[in-house]
Amino acid sequence: MPTTNASEPAAGTPAAPGAQSSRTPSPGLSTVAVHAGEAREKPGHSLTDPIFASSTYTFRDTQSIIDFIEEDQPREEYGRYGNPGERVVERKLAALEGGEMGVLFSSGMAALVGLLMTHLNAGDEIIFFDECYHRSREFCRKHLTRFGVAFREVKTCDYEALEAAISPQTRFIVSESPTNPHLSVVDVARFAEIGRRRGVLTLIDATLCTPYNLRPLEAGVDFVLHSATKYLGGHNDLLAGAVIGSRELLEPVRRLRGIMGGVNSPHNAYLLERGLKTLALRMERHNANGLALARFLESHPRVEKVYYPGLESHPYHAIAARTMRGCGGLVTFLVRDADWRATADVVDAVRIPRIGPSLGGVESLIEQPLVMSYWNYTPAERAGFGIPDTMIRVACGIEDTADLVADFAQALDRG
C-alpha cells in the first residue's frame, strides 16, 4: 500500500489550475495532468503508479480493523469501496477540474445514475435541456419516473424557459455543453446562477469539452460529469465515468457507489491515468482538426449545414469564443440534397475514420445518427430530437489535419 494519505493529494502534487501561491505560479493544465494526485515516491520506487490487482485488502490484527473503522483511516478494505489506483485518478480529475473531490465509475452512464440516485427522492423533479444524450433521457423518463421523480425537458439554451419550468419540487437542472450532436454551447455561468438563485443543484456533462476547453466548476456549477471513455481516456480502449464537485455533495455519492457496485477495474484505472497524462497534447490536435474540418465542410457545395461552435456561422460561436479554449474534435454536418442512403454513401466512402458510436479517441470515428442511435425511432420522434436523415457526425482523432480534410474531400466529391 502507498504510504501517503489516500484521501488527500500527495506531497509534491501541483495545485489545481487557478490556485495561487506566494512563491510559485500556478502550474499549467498539462503539468497538472501529468503529476496531480500522485505520490512523488511510489511503491517499489516506480515512476508510474502500480496496478493494485486485488479485490480484498487485509488487516494485521483485530485492533487494526477497529482503528480503521473508528479513525476513518485512509486505506482500502474491499475493492467495491475503493482501490489505490482509482483514488489517484480521482485526485487527478479533481485537480484538472478545480474541484474538491472526484468519484470514478464504471462508465459515464453509471456516474450519472449514481449521482441522481444519491440526490433525488420520490416527489422531486429534474429538468434537462432537451439536446441531451438519448440514454440519459431514457433513464430519467423510463426509470427515474418509476420511483416518483418527475422529468421535464426545455429547449436548450432557453434560460427564460428553464427558469419558468423550475418549481418547488425541482432538485436538479442538467445540461451537456457542448451538446451532442448539435454542439450548442451553454452559458454555464448563467446556468449556474439560475441554479444558485432558485436553490437547485446544477450538473454540466462536459464530456465534449474536457477540462482543457472548459471548467464548469469555476463558473459556479455544482457538478461536472464526464464519460471518461471519450477524451479523458483518449485511446478507445476503456470504459469509465466520473463526477467532480464538492466533498460535501460527493461523499454520499461515493458511499452509494459502494452499495450499487458501479466501480471500475484496477487495470482500467491505470489506463485512464495514463491517458490523462497526454490530455492537453491530444486536445490541441483534436481542437485543430475539428476546426479545420468544419471550415472545409462549410465551404463544400455538397454540405448544407455544419454544426461546430468554432465557426462564426454557429449560433453559439460568441459564447464559445468567450468561455472555451477550443471547441473539440466533434463536427456534425448535413449532406445537401440527399436521402438517408446517399448520406450513408458518404459515411462509407471515407477511408481514415472508422464507423463507430464513440468519440474522443486518437482514431477518427464517423457515424450517421439516424442509423447508429435513432434507427428504431419514428420519423416524428427523430424530427423532435433534431436528427435529420442527412446528418453525419465526425469525431476527429489526432491524425494529420491535411489527411483528414483530403479524405472528406474525396468522399464528398464522389457524389
Collapsing DSSP to helix, strand or coil, 12 comes out as coil
Considering only CA atoms, give the Rg of the chain.
Answer: 22
Between CA 162 and CA 200 the distance in angstroms is: 12
Between CA 391 and CA 349 the distance in angstroms is: 15
Between CA 184 and CA 244 the distance in angstroms is: 22
Catalytic one of 42, 57, 67, 80: 80
CA 311 to chain centroid, in Å, comes to 22
- Give the number of other CB atoms < 10 A from CB of residue 170: 20
Catalytic one of 87, 215, 230, 257: 230
Catalytic one of 87, 130, 133, 308: 133
Residue from 399, 321, 401, 358 nearest 181 by CA: 358
Specify the DSSP element, H or E, that contains 304: strand 303-307
Query: What separation in angstroms does the CA of 231 have from each of 10, 234, 271?
Result: 25, 4, 13
Please say if 205 is a catalytic residue. Answer: yes
Kindly give the pairing relationship between strand 391-395 and strand 365-367: antiparallel
- What is the DSSP code (8-state) at residue 120? -
Please say if 230 is a catalytic residue. Answer: yes
Contact status, residue 285 vs residue 398, Cβ threshold 8 Å: yes
DSSP calls for 184-246: ----HHHHHHHHHHHT-EEEEE-TTTHHHH--GGGGT-SEEEEETTTTTT-SS----EEEEE-
- Give the number of other CB atoms < 10 A from CB of residue 120: 20
Please say if 142 is a catalytic residue. Answer: no
Catalytic residues: 80, 133, 205, 230
